[in-house]
Chains A and B, each alone.
Chain A
Amino acid sequence: MSSLGAKKPGIRQFRSGDPMDEKESNRTWECLRHAIHQIHQHNASSLSFEELYRNAYNLVLHKYGELLYNGVQGVVAEHLKVVAQSCIECPDDRLLDELKKQWDDHKTTMVMIRDILMYMDRNFVTQYKKVPVYEMGLMIFRDKVSGHPRVKTHLLTLLLDNISAERRGEQVDRILLKHTTNMLVELGVQGKNVYRECFEDQFLDATRKFYQDESKQYISQNPCSDYLRKAEKRIREEKARVENYLHESTMEKIQELCDEEWISVHYKTLIHMENSGCAWMFQCDKIADLERMYLLFSRVPVTLKEVQKVMMDCMCEAGRDVLNDPEKVKDPVSFITAILSLKYKYDRFVKESFKESKDFQLALKQAFESFLNKDTRTAQYLSLYVDDQFRKGLKGMSSDADVDTALEQVVTVFRFLQDKDVFENFYKQHLSKRLLTGRSVSDEAERSMISKLKSECGHQYTSKLEGMFQDMKLSEDIMKQYKNSFASPSLSRGSRAGPGVGSAVSSASSSIDMKVSVLTSGFWPGSPMNPCTLPPEVQECISRFETFYLAKHTGRKLTWQPQYGAADLKAQMPKTKHELSVSTYQMCILMLFNQQPTWTYQDIRLRTNIPVEPVDELKRHLQSLYVNPKAKILVKLGDGEKKEPEENDQFMVNPQFESKLLRIKVPLVLSKNTESATGAPQGADGPSDVPATVEEDRKHLVEAVVVRVMKSRKTLEHNQLVMEVTRHLTARFQPSPTLIKQRIEKLIEREYLERSQADRRVYNYLA
């Protein structure tokens, strides 16, 4: 700075005292022209930068900027003309190298020239709005060299040839290509995009054509997964190419182009390709292929819809197979197992192949819902499956975590059910059987299942189930108190009980051990039945219990429900001694034979009063005592052709009875009627519809909700009311609009609602 400052007085002196004339200016320019020429000849080292700078400075200062600017333009143009000639004459294979050399030279010389003419750039150029010297050089290069038609076409051809060679897998000089494209980009000054005009557009066209042909040809000869691999590879290559030697502005365009040519055009063909498409991949668990497809197709999100559709179709088809499989129709356990394995399979696809995409999760849910809710069998079988798990399945599981997983699986299927009330109905039946027969493996597991259901559907859904548990617990306490109330244990005797049940061990002696379950009516399924006439010994026990219980809880009413009960009898058979495990009804029948050796069917009915309506319980229980070859306790006299007992058939204790076992369990025969009454599976009858009790409950539920909604809204339009009611009920089941409408009409009839006089579509709530 200080040295520059020292020069200043001299300059000022020169400017003020010595104005430049035309001759002087021409001389100065001549000097500069020579210098530029020298630069072009690579002789710049012999020049004095300071002198040249001063010359240019003087020219501009003395208003000869125009002369200088035009002169420089002329000299550079002159030089580039020669350069262009050398490029044109250059053979094709050397062209890129030649261009690289010339371009580098040009850039270096232009930098030098620019430095000399710095003052002109700063003053003259800005003042007269000219193009700065360096850019002017680029423009001249663009016009004379790269823009020369021959050079231009050759350059393009060479570039495209190189690229397609690389696509064929050959080695190319990437650095040279990078250099060339850089040159094109740098030439893009003053509003002209040389890179795009001279290269990119043609490159994209060529690429599109190439991939159009290639993808079309490839898809016709290769399976889907190979195609996907190829497409993936191509897309990756193009990306790498742009990164390696093209300009970044190309990236988006080329990606879009690849997506379109490799994916959009062919995705349908790919997805539906026979023996290798989507469906095949689902069938053959091609997780990796599907993942590839997902990643590739997520570039064009609309294509994923098609994949989802195929997935849903595949699932529905698999679901239908399970639903229609004759083996699984009979066996609820294998049915649910099949559903669970189907779920597991597709969960894996969603998780591993589709990266837990929300859309695919939704599709999975929809597919399951669509086929599981075709009929109520799933609800029934799911409940039976749980029943089986609680009776046997959970026994094998040691840890709580295993049990929890098993139950969690049940809940996942449960979530797909629309008619949750149907499931509740079956579950209640099965639970009551488990509780009353004490067949459940683990109380804790039962409770955790209920709490799972509770967290799914809310407190109301499980209140009855919880009530059943509560009853069982209270009954235990009551039994303890009952037993303690006898001073001497020899006095305790008993039999079956409850609106519930009990197991009783009766013997010839007077001691009967009775267990009573007191059940709250309303919590438990099934309607109460008329009790039968119990043997006097048992009757005595019952009365004693009643006295005990009613003394504790005044105002309650006990109704005995022997149909749920069971009894253990000590029996002195003609040849051997046994312990018979039978139902309460059977106990009543067998006890008769203590009085006389033979009984007719008619008499048995009259003496026991075992109900024959609505289900013929007597026939079923009696039959079980003589048809089973392993427990042939009674024999039917007379012609043994028919298995069913008739009015005057006589029965007696089987004198030939023999068994090695001390304890004999008499299994009950299943009659068709009892099956439907207990809601057990009916394989032969195909899918059953919503059970009548559930149907009835739904009517009440819908009415209750309609009234609740109308009470708060006072007047409401029909469609809004239906929507509102549906919204309230979907957690339990899917009410049909017709059902809601029918209930509304009933409510109108019963004057809870009226149609508005003004608009018949509107209902008013009548307080």
Chain B
Amino acid sequence: MMNTKGSGEFATWDVDCEQAFEVALPPRWEFRDRAFGSPGIWRPFNEAVSCEINALVRRGQRRGNVSISGAEFAVDLQDMVAMPTDQYAVPRGLRKNVRQPNVNKKALRQLYQKYAEELLPADHPGGPDGIAGDKFLELFKDLEVDPGTDVAALALASACNAAEMGVFRRREFICGCAALEVDNIADLRGKMPELRDNVISGKSLPEVYAYTFGVALEPPCKLLPLEEAAQYWALLLPNWPLREDFCDWAMRHMKGKAINRDLWMMILKLATEVPADLSNFNENPAWPVVLDDFVEYYRAQKGL
């Protein structure tokens, strides 16, 4: 049934893939000097500049200012040219270099079709269908990962940039697979230990951690209840020595018992940059008041 219906629906598959690939692997931007008729050679911008231009594209702006190697450029994406705001700098031509992930679109479609089903709302920007509910659990069962207790599941969701907890929309799933460069279940399963290790070792922790807060929120709400936050910390920061002390303290003393984004991000900083004896805590005076209070309490307790 899925297949018969799918043939029509998956007609847009290639377009979906192109768009998802661009999210998974943002295009790099290249430039060449355009002076005195000499064509010059194309050279890539550094990563930060590429990011800035991509941000312009994402925001749908045609023009914007970007600083390239110290000089400020007015980038015009319609004419594909970067005009210096300083009139003596050389004008430069622009070129987008789209990166293609090493995946087979067809194989990927087969992988997706196995788990996909129609989901509401149909006009979701991630696509009219996706992996959710039982199918979602089935996927993770095939990946040999427990989505409730294994941080690899969060890492995968982060790679997919999934907007909702427990759901991979079509483009989100393609995006995740493209980022990981896998197109079948065995390869995807093989990536799981790496995803897990990258989070635990801290390599991909900042992205996954930041992503988690966004996906954990119920949309209009901007605060994450403390109890939920504590569960995520257990997943994401299993090695933080003060985690349990902090959660205990927060449960008893914190006003509101909810975490805002700023506090969430600062707790990552606390967990990764401050040792268990809190010796360098005072180097940053800008810690949120909640953390100040906790540290004061904790120091009093431990006699630090």
Residues of A within 8 A of B (CB): 718-719, 722, 738, 741-742, 744-745, 748-749, 755, 760-761, 763
Contact = CB atoms under 8 A, between A and B. Distances in A.
Nearest to B266: A760
Contacts of B286: 718, 741, 744, 755, 760-761, 763
Contacts of A760: 266, 269, 284, 286
B122 interface: no
Interface in B189-208: none
Contact of B262 (A718, A719, A738, A749): A749
A745 B289 contact: yes
Contact of B260 (A718, A749, A761, A763): A749
Interface string B275-292: 000000000111011001
B226 to A, nearest CB: 16
A749 B288 CA distance: 12
Nearest to A741: B289
Contacts of A722: 285
A159 B257 CA distance: 89
Given A749-B222, A749-B260, A760-B269, A742 B289 contact: yes
Contacts of B222: 749
A766 to B, nearest CB: 13
A749 to B, nearest CB: 5
A383 to B, nearest CB: 32
A745 B255 CA distance: 14
B292 to A, nearest CB: 7
Contacts of B269: 760
A748 B286 CA distance: 12
User: Which of B266, B269, B286 has the most C-beta atoms of chain A within 10 angstroms of its own C-beta?
Assistant: B286
A722 B286 CA distance: 10
10 contacts: A718-B286, A719-B285, A738-B292, A745-B289, A749-B222, A749-B261, A755-B266, A760-B286, A761-B284, A761-B286
A741 B222 CA distance: 20
A333 to B, nearest CB: 40
Contacts of A719: 285
A755 B289 contact: no
A713 to B, nearest CB: 15
Given A760-B266, A760-B269, A745 B284 contact: no
Interface of B: 222, 260-263, 265-266, 269, 284-286, 288-289, 292
A107 to B, nearest CB: 79
Given A738-B292, A749-B222, A760-B269, A755 B262 contact: yes
Contacts of B266: 755, 760
Contacts of A761: 284-286
A556 to B, nearest CB: 37
Nearest to A750: B222
B150 to A, nearest CB: 29
B284 A741 contact: no
Given A755-B286, A761-B285, 19 more contacts: A718-B284, A718-B286, A722-B285, A741-B286, A741-B288, A741-B289, A741-B292, A742-B289, A745-B262, A745-B263, A745-B288, A749-B260, A749-B261, A755-B266, A760-B266, A760-B269, A760-B284, A760-B286, A761-B286
Contacts of B261: 749
Interface of B is mostly: helix
Report the 9 A-B pairs with minimum CB-CB distance, sorted nearest first. Answer: A718-B286, A761-B286, A748-B262, A718-B285, A749-B260, A741-B289, A742-B289, A761-B284, A719-B285
Nearest to A739: B289
Contacts of B285: 718-719, 722, 761
B88 to A, nearest CB: 27
Contacts of A742: 289
A722 B289 CA distance: 14
Contacts of A763: 286
A742 B255 CA distance: 12
A547 to B, nearest CB: 46
A639 B260 CA distance: 59
Contacts of B289: 738, 741-742, 745
Contacts of B288: 741, 745
A761 B289 CA distance: 14
B69 to A, nearest CB: 18
A763 B265 CA distance: 14
Nearest to A718: B286
A745 B266 CA distance: 11
A760 B285 CA distance: 10
A763 B261 CA distance: 15
B61 to A, nearest CB: 16
A605 B288 CA distance: 50
Nearest to B222: A749
Contacts of A755: 262, 265-266, 286
A718 B286 CA distance: 6
A561 B198 CA distance: 67
A755 B264 CA distance: 13
A718 B287 CA distance: 10
Nearest to B269: A760
A52 B250 CA distance: 114
A745 B263 CA distance: 9
A718 B284 CA distance: 9
A760 B265 CA distance: 10
A757 to B, nearest CB: 10
A703 to B, nearest CB: 15
A206 to B, nearest CB: 59
A755 B261 CA distance: 11
A741 B284 CA distance: 13
A760 B284 CA distance: 8
User: Which of B222, B269, B285 has the most C-beta atoms of chain A within 10 angstroms of its own C-beta?
Assistant: B285
Nearest to A756: B286
A760 B280 CA distance: 14
Nearest to A719: B285
B284 to A, nearest CB: 5
A763 B285 CA distance: 12
User: Which of A738, A741, A742, A763 has the most C-beta atoms of chain B within 10 angstroms of its own C-beta?
Assistant: A741
A454 to B, nearest CB: 35
A109 B289 CA distance: 94
A749 B289 CA distance: 13
A752 to B, nearest CB: 12
Nearest to B265: A755
B34 to A, nearest CB: 33
Nearest to B290: A745
Nearest to B293: A738
Nearest to B283: A761
A760 B287 CA distance: 8
A701 B54 CA distance: 39
A605 to B, nearest CB: 38
Contacts of B265: 755
A723 to B, nearest CB: 11
A738 B289 CA distance: 7
Contacts of B260: 745, 749
A253 B248 CA distance: 71
A745 B291 CA distance: 12
A763 B284 CA distance: 13
A757 B29 CA distance: 23
Nearest to B261: A749
User: Which of B260, B269, B289, B292 has the most C-beta atoms of chain A within 10 angstroms of its own C-beta?
Assistant: B289
A748 B222 CA distance: 12
B196 to A, nearest CB: 26
Contacts of A741: 286, 288-289, 292
A755 B284 CA distance: 12
B282 to A, nearest CB: 12
Contacts of A749: 222, 260-262
B302 to A, nearest CB: 22
A749 B263 CA distance: 9
A748 B288 CA distance: 11
Nearest to A761: B286
Nearest to A753: B262
A718 B283 CA distance: 12
A755 B260 CA distance: 14
A709 to B, nearest CB: 15
